[in-house]
Amino acid sequence: MTEPNVTGNLHARSTGHVPVLLAEILATLQPRPGETYADATAGRGGHASAVAPLVGATGGIVLNDADAENLEFAAARVRASTAENSPTPTVTPIHGNFALLPRRMEQAGLRANAFLADLGFASNQIDRAERGFSFARAGPLDMRFDASRGLSAFDLVNQAPERELARILREFGEEPAAGRVARAIVAARATGAIATTDALADVIRSVVSKPPDSGIDPATRSFQGLRIAVNDELGSLDALLAAIESAARKLRPDPPGSVPKTVAGPGPHPVPWLAPGARVAILTFHSLEDRPVKAHFADMCKSGLATDLAPGGVTATEEEKRSNPRARSARLRAIRLNGG
Ligand SMILES: C[S@@+](CC[C@H](N)C(=O)[O-])C[C@H]1O[C@@H](n2cnc3c(N)ncnc32)[C@H](O)[C@@H]1O
């Protein structure tokens, strides 16, 4: 995927990010008055602020993001989106990785009727050089969604063994020259730490040639691979998918004669974080994300835990792809949980 250039877009300039497939997501999730909507990746609050007036003053909005600044922006935007016309729903901001969100919701007694995870980075993150996501902007090598914890791209690039770097670039970046790039990184760092995005991009470009007539920078795949590794993006997604399935299992009606699951038992949180009939949508931007979502949702539908709300996945219209390049690779998958 190429880095989207959204800086020319007026809406993106004022909010930092244009929500992708917004109309399709609202049509799929169908938020209703009084319901609770949970947004695992609040970002700049684009989706959540459109949902807020639909759940109304009696509804709830749970906002989660690993990026504290985005979370704060999203919460303020959601509150402002309804304040002018009608009372605001209850807004609950939760800072952290969405892998932990289901447990934190259960601990807080929160239950979502509609849920969205819009994966990856927000445009404002990649547009700000100091976040270190972009090979096109000179900045410190960071790439963490949550800048308050964990290893940064600097740590990974300057400390990981060559084999580990090659694996990351191959598996997460799908970089055919992964071995060559890893070797070049190890050779370059022997003469001094690789501290900036442009220094790393130069190392990569020295061993990966640009395909003729392609607008794609040779550093694109490697940067994607490092970002995915730094944020454990696929591990977090796996944990989220497991938690969705676990909630659906808890909601499945008990077979006749069995002990009901909702009676106090060995589990600490007998009431799951998703409500019976919850609509669950996940928006992906590349095949590494889409593959596990597709497989997991298909398994859940096959075993009677859920119903597919978007067979084959929903992609953006040509018009949206033209006006928002980030929408070009987007695919929405959605299910409704059975049970309850
Ligand atoms: C594509 S943006 C979401 C944009 C949002 N839907 C909007 O309309 O403004 C993705 C957001 O998810 C956050 N994020 C990515 N992975 C995350 C994770 N594992 N846990 C929590 N937040 C994550 C990023 O920090 C970013 O703010």
CATH number of residue 169's parent domain:
1.10.150.170
Assigned domain for 293 exists = yes
Cβ of 59 below 6 Å from ligand 1: no
Residue 211, pLDDT score = 72
Q: Is residue 256 over pLDDT 90? A: no
pLDDT for the residue 263: 45
pLDDT at 3 over 50: no
- Answer with the residue of higher pLDDT: 27 or 9: 27
Q: For residue 334, which phi and psi values (nearest 5 degrees)?
A: -150, 145
- CA nearest to 11, candidates 49, 66, 55: 49
pLDDT of residue 10: 40
Q: Round to whole Å and give the CA distance between 48 and 306.
A: 24
Please tell me the residue having the least CA distance from ligand 1 atom 14. Answer: 41
Q: What is the pLDDT of residue 11?
A: 55
Closest CA to 241 of 289, 278, 276: 289
Tokens, residue 142:
């960071």
Residue located nearest, by CA, to atom 13 of ligand 1: 41
Do 78 and 172 belong together in one domain? no
Shared domain check, 107 and 251: yes
**End residue of a domain, out of 230, 252, 274:** 230
Q: Six-digit token pair at 299?
A: 């398994």
How confident is the model over 169-178, as a mean pLDDT?
Answer: 97
Q: Decide whether any atom of ligand 1 lies within 6 Å of the 97 Cβ.
A: yes
Report the pLDDT value the prediction gives residue 264, as an integer from 0 to 100: 47
177 and 323 inside one domain: no
Over its C-alpha atoms, the chain yields an Rg (Å, rounded) of: 21
5 in a structural domain: no
Residue 212 lies in a domain: yes
> What secondary structure does DSSP assign to 298-311, as a single string?
HHHHHTTSEEESST
State which residues form the domain around 51.
10-123+232-337
Q: Identify whether residues 49 and 184 lie together within a single domain.
A: no
Please indicate, yes or no, if residue 139 is contained in any of the structural domains: no
* CA 192 to ligand 1 centroid distance, Å: 33
**Are residue 78 and residue 222 in the same domain, yes or no?**
no
Return the residue whose CA atom lies nearest to atom 16 of ligand 1: 120
How far is residue 93 from each of residues 66, 182, 283, measured CA to CA in Å?
A: 11, 39, 21
Instruction: Assign 1 a pLDDT band (cuts: 50, 70, 90).
Output: very low
Tell which residue, 294, 243, 293, has the closest CA to residue 273.
243
Confidence of residue 209 (pLDDT cuts 50, 70, 90): confident
Contact between residue 113 and residue 280 where contact means Cβ atoms under 8 Å apart: no
pLDDT-derived band of residue 5, with 50, 70 and 90 as boundaries?
Answer: very low
Burial tier of 152 (Cβ tally within 10 Å: 0-12, 13-18, 19+)? middle
Could you tell me if 48 and 94 lie in one domain? yes
Whether 112 and 253 share a structural domain: yes
Domain of residue 65, CATH code: 3.40.50.150
Where residue 339 falls among pLDDT bands split at 50, 70, 90?
confident
Structural domain includes residue 141: no
- Find out whether 103 and 159 touch, Cβ atoms under 8 Å: no
Q: Are 337 and 280 in contact (CB under 8 A)?
A: yes
Query: Can you read off the two tokens belonging to residue 211?
Result: 């395909």
Domain boundary residue, one of 199, 230, 261:
230
pLDDT value of residue 84: 63
Helices (H) and strands (E) in the chain, counts: 14, 7
- 61-120, pLDDT tens digit by residue? 999 999 999 999 999 999 998 766 667 899 999 999 999 999 999 999 999 999 999 999
CA 65 to ligand 1 center in whole angstroms: 6
pLDDT digits (tens, 9 = 90+) for 13-69: 589 999 999 999 999 999 999 999 999 999 999 999 999 999 999 999 999 999 999
For residues 236 and 106, state if they share a domain.
yes
| Main-chain dihedrals φ then ψ at residue 94, nearest 5 degrees | -130, 120
Domain boundary among 230, 250, 285: 230
Residue 333 lies inside a defined structural domain of this protein: yes
User: Helices 46-55 and 68-83 meet at what angle, rounded to 10?
Assistant: 40
Residue 210's pLDDT is 80
Number of domains present in the structure of the chain: 2
Mean local confidence (pLDDT), 138-148: 96
| 133, part of any domain | no
Residue 19 Cβ contacting ligand 1 at under 6 Å: yes
Confidence band of 9 (pLDDT split at 50, 70, 90): very low
**Residue 267 confidence class, pLDDT cut points 50, 70, 90:** low
Q: What is the rounded distance in angstroms from the CA atom of residue 311 to the CA atom of residue 220?
A: 31
> Do 160 and 297 fall within a single domain?
no
User: Based on the domain organization, do 223 and 237 belong to the same domain?
Assistant: no
* pLDDT tens, residue by residue, 311-332: 999 999 999 999 999 999 999 9
Q: Taking each helix axis as running N to C, give the angle between helix 220-230 and helix 233-251, from 0 to 180 degrees, rounded to the nearest 10.
A: 50
Q: What is the torsional sign of CA 151, 155, 159, 162?
A: positive
Dump pLDDT digits (tens) for 105-127. 999 999 999 999 999 999 999 99
- For position 123, what pLDDT does the model report? 93
Atom 18 of ligand 1, residue of closest alpha carbon: 97
Judge if 31 and 109 occupy the same domain. yes
Length of the chain: 340
Decide if 170 is inside a domain: yes
The chain-wide mean pLDDT, for the chain, equals: 91
The tokens for 124 are 């404002």
Work out the percent of the chain whose per-residue pLDDT is above 70.
89
Q: Taking each helix axis from N to C terminus, what angle separates 233-251 and 287-302, rounded to the nearest 10 degrees? A: 10
Same domain membership, residue 192 and residue 155: yes
